[in-house]
Amino acid sequence: MLIGYARVSTSEQDTAAQVVALKAAGCELIFREKASGGRWYRPELHKLLGQLRKGDVLVVWKLDRLSRSLRDVLTLMERVQERKAGFRS
């Protein structure tokens, strides 16, 4: 299953453009979040990671929607790999 993650940093921003792109990419389930990419605690992202199963693919519109921190991106990729899932940006 393709699972999308859409994130914006502020309440003034909207995830609509990301959601359209994720649906066009074939995502069946999309998690949306309004939180800074510099924060590790993002409930929707962690909920998504908890639902990833073998063969699933985490999809983001752009890599910076996942995190602004390279260290966090690498940690997240390890978690995706541990679940034998894939990643696409």
Catalytic (active site) residue 67: no
CA distances from 27 to 1, 38, 51 (A): 7, 25, 14
Strand order in the sheet with 2-8: 29-34, 2-8, 57-60, 86-88
Tokens (6 digits) for 57 = 């693919």
3 state DSSP class of 85: coil
Catalytic residue selected from 9, 11, 67, 69: 9
Active site residues: 9
